[in-house]
Amino acid sequence: MSTRPRTAGKLPLTDLAEMKKRGERIVMVTAYDFPSGRLADAAGIDLVLVGDSAAMTVLGHDSTVPATMEDMLLLARAAARGALRPLVVADMPFGSFQVSDEEAVRNAVRFVKEAGADAVKVEGAGPTLSRVLALTGAGIPVMGHIGLTPQSATMLGGYKAQGRTASKARELLDDALALEAAGCFSLVLECVPAPVAERITQALAVPTIGIGSGAGCDGQVLVFHDLLGLYEGRAPRFVKRYADLAAEIRVALERYAADVRAGVFPEDAHTYAIAENELTRFEADLASRART
Ligand code: KIV
């Protein structure tokens, strides 16, 4: 596999707030391995999220909850090798930051030191605020995530839009302001009504990255597999599919299988030659072995 071309020079984290000021939209996509990180880089994406959505998209679980630190470190390490210019944000999996500030810092340090992540993302507000303070205090940039927070989907009553009443919208705004005050450099707003997300975006100095939260956010994030149509089945309503790669891949695999079964792959062009005299000597060796 070719490793070129790709861009060099990391996007400075401080540029994100400048982009917000200039009204320049920020583009984020998830990536979970070297090729997806490299492709995101080559496409000029600003932020790569090694999301715990990997538990579902690449590990085959039913939710994000089973993702472990070891799973996420492996995936983040590979994605970071490919994503040189984009800032790489590693998602802290369920259980890696809920227990204590100390454990959150210990695990986040692993993402930075062992995987080459530039920042981490944590879900929620409330108890998460002290984690944000501890992490930023340790010098680790933190992205917040409010609205639909999949790690606590059960408590939220399922995968549903959040902030759909005035009081819930106000709670979200308060959470956003508290996370900003605690030091988050950016916030993901997931499945928040567009007008609410827009008001929150206007109230913050740090950029918001929306998913299912409308065009009023400072940037957008989509899951790699969703936007590329890398699996069959229904995607959430906020997903725009830019390709149907699952269908293309299936057709390619079926053609490959048919070629192998029909004996038409490999062709001469896919094989390596041996000099005629070497082949003659090899055959002579074989013949003499057969005689003994
Ligand atoms: O894990 C993930 O991919 C995410 C995005 C949906 C924001 O958290």
Probe ligand 1: pick from 48, 65, 223, max atoms within 8 Å of CB? 223
Mean pLDDT of the chain: 95
What is the whole-number distance in angstroms between the Cα of residue 239 and the centre of ligand 1?
12
State the closest ligand 1 atom to the C-alpha of 150, by its place in the atom list counted from 1. 8
Shortest-distance Cα residue to atom 2 of ligand 1: 51
Centre of ligand 1 from the C-alpha of residue 4, in Å:
27
Mean pLDDT of 266-273: 97
pLDDT digits (tens, 9 = 90+) for 159-169: 999 999 999 99
What mean pLDDT comes out for the span 217-223? 98
Using alpha carbons, select from 166, 94, 155, 101 the residue that is nearest to residue 127.
Answer: 101
Q: Whose CA is nearest to atom 5 of ligand 1?
A: 51
Give the pairing of strands 219-222 and 208-211: parallel
How many CB atoms neighbour CB 3 within 10 A? Answer: 10
* Annotation marks residue 190 as catalytic: yes
- Count of H-run helices and E-run strands, the chain: 11, 8
What is the pTM (predicted TM-score) of this model? 0.94
Question: Which residue's alpha carbon is nearest to atom 8 within ligand 1?
Answer: 51
Q: Which residues pair with 164 in a beta bridge?
A: none
Cis peptide before 5 (omega within 30 of 0): yes
pLDDT digits (tens, 9 = 90+) for 98-142: 999 999 999 999 999 999 999 999 999 999 999 999 999 999 999
Pick from 227, 263, 270, 259: which is nearest to 245 by CA? Answer: 227
More confident call, 6 vs 193 = 193
Quickly state the pLDDT bin for 234 (edges 50, 70, 90).
confident
CA 263 to ligand 1 center in whole angstroms: 44
Which amino acids bring their CB within 6 angstroms of ligand 1? 30, 49, 51-53, 91, 145, 188, 190, 211, 221, 223
User: CA 185, 187, 189: angle at the middle one, nearest 5?
Assistant: 170
Check 123, 190, 267, 278 and give the catalytic one.
190
Q: What is the pLDDT of residues 130-181, one digit of tens each?
A: 999 999 999 999 999 999 999 999 989 889 999 999 999 999 999 999 999 9
First to last CA, the chain: 44
Tokens of 274: 């041996």
56 C-alpha to center of ligand 1: Å?
A: 11
Choice from 61, 121, 237 to test ligand 1 binding pocket (greatest atom count within 8 A of CB): 121
